[in-house]
Structure 1
Amino acid sequence: MTTPQPLPYGTPDAPRISVRGEARLEVDPEIAHISITVTARGTDRTTTLDDLTRRNTRALDLLKTYGDAVEKLETGLITVAPQFAGKGRHEHVRSYHGSVYLTATLGDFTVLGELTTNIADLPLTEITGPWWALRPDSPAHREARRLAVQEAVHRAREYADALGSRLTALLELADDGTEGMGIHGYAGGMARGGYGGAGFAAGPEPELDLEPQRQTVHAQVNARFTITPPQL
């Protein structure tokens, strides 16, 4: 015997209401990402690579002096490539350019201005960022989902009340996957290191004043309910 399938739009005795619940929160960021590019130039490949290795080590050592404030430190793309001069048969290697790309994630914003200034003061070093964000497991995501569900129930009750009905059962609650994981906002803070000098500046460098950018978290659900027969 074939089990009868439920009708998609309910019945006169058990009508259905389909609603959407949404929530949008603005919260303070929890982490900040910065990108660092260390470069080296020279007329000899080996010398360029040695310089690149030394400058990369120095940047890493500086970042590590901030301890737990730097929660994650990752090395990305590394390149060492010849730069050519001339064309055709007269083409020859003019110099070599090398780069190392680093990404740092900070959870302590009180040192962010000082850190970006010190990194930017390193020779042939570029820093970009910060990009503000929430942690993947941030309570803000859970709160947005909870509020979205409450909004769906509230909206369904309003429709039922307008018909002189009441909610009787929840048939389906679906997350349509549009929840934002925190918008990565870009805010100032880009600095470029100078091309000279092997040490830090003699005097204290000015510290960048960085204001964290608020993050938007969005959650959305679709829900279906049955209601009592309306009073038409």
Structure 2
Amino acid sequence: MATSPEEAQPTAAPYGTPDAPRIAVRGEAHLEVDPEIAGIRVTVLARGKDRRTALDDLTRRNTTALDLIKTYGQAVERLETGTFSLTPELKEKGRGERIHAYHGRVHITAELTDFTALGELTTRLADLDLTSVDGPWWSLRPTSPAHKRARQQAVKDAVQRAREYAEALDTTLAALVELADIGAEAPQPVRPAAPGGALRARSATGAEDAAAPLDLEPQRQRLHAQVNARFTMLPPRL
């Protein structure tokens, strides 16, 4: 009776053999690194008795905020406009549905790489009329070398652990059988900001002098990398 090529292949023993015992370990790495990016969220508000007035005021204030952010040039890595809304406010009393006022709102998000400029920009934005600032949210780029460093340290930790187990049996490692990534990185915080990492300010109109720039301390980012590894080792003498 003929056998297929698949049947002719020897089946690998999942737990090794006496001639090639296996070691399964988990390698881990924990790093703390400086952030690379700081994100802020700017909310611009407007209110008017009629739709056109509210819309014109919102447009003007939105342009002012965007122009101010753009003056920081290369310090701003990303600038995006989020949601926009213009909502009528109905009178609580009286017959029929009568509009009392219109409320406008625009959300702007910005990411900066210059943290010195960040403190100055947040203060100047918060000093604008009917403008609020939330943030900063500290983070790393997805392509940050810190992620690679964490993964490599996790692999080295796995090899070191396996060697220690082999040494305990007076033998040595023979070969790597498997290396599995089980969620190599988990940078913290992402969004929303971790406790103590948020700034919230609202404008105070009528100020005669510009407010002093905020002194913002970047929040260290924590990276955690893990790998599963399996090795074969030379048969120990037990």
TM-score by length of 2: 0.91
Residue matched to 1:208: 214
Matches within 5 A, 1:11-160: 11-86=17-92, 90-160=96-166
Q: Secondary structure at the match of 2:226?
A: strand
Residue 160 of structure 1: how far off its partner (Å) = 0.9
Looking at structure 2, the residues matched to 67 and 163 of structure 1 have their Cα atoms a distance apart, in angstroms, of 61
Q: Secondary structure at the match of 1:183?
A: coil
Which residue identity does 1:193 align to in structure 2?
S
* Equivalent residues, number: 228
Of 6, 14, 18, the residue aligned with 1:8 is: 14
Residue 25 of structure 1: how far off its partner (Å) = 0.5
Of 181, 190, 203, the residue aligned with 2:200 is: 190
TM-score by length of 1: 0.93
Looking at structure 2, the residues matched to 150 and 46 of structure 1 have their Cα atoms a distance apart, in angstroms, of 64
Residue 47 of structure 1: how far off its partner (Å) = 1.3
Residue 81 of structure 1: how far off its partner (Å) = 1.0
Say if 2:77 and 2:111, in contact at 8 Å, map to a contact too: yes
Residue matched to 1:217: 223
Which residue identity does 2:27 align to in structure 1?
G
Residue 206 of structure 1: how far off its partner (Å) = 1.9
Q: 1:182 to 1:136 in 2, by over 3 A?
A: farther
- Unaligned 5+ runs, structure 2: none
Which residue identity does 1:192 align to in structure 2?
R
Please identify runs of 4+ aligned residues in structure 1 that moved more than 2 A: 85-92, 181-186
Looking at structure 2, the residues matched to 178 and 138 of structure 1 have their Cα atoms a distance apart, in angstroms, of 13
Q: Secondary structure at the match of 2:199?
A: coil
Q: Secondary structure at the match of 2:232?
A: strand
Aligned-pair identity (%): 62
Looking at structure 2, the residues matched to 175 and 84 of structure 1 have their Cα atoms a distance apart, in angstroms, of 56
Question: Superposition RMSD on alpha carbons, in Å?
Answer: 1.6
Looking at structure 2, the residues matched to 17 and 82 of structure 1 have their Cα atoms a distance apart, in angstroms, of 68
Looking at structure 2, the residues matched to 43 and 165 of structure 1 have their Cα atoms a distance apart, in angstroms, of 84
Q: Secondary structure at the match of 1:171?
A: strand
Say if 1:182 and 1:215, in contact at 8 Å, map to a contact too: yes
Looking at structure 1, the residues matched to 48 and 210 of structure 2 have their Cα atoms a distance apart, in angstroms, of 30
Say if 1:75 and 1:101, in contact at 8 Å, map to a contact too: yes
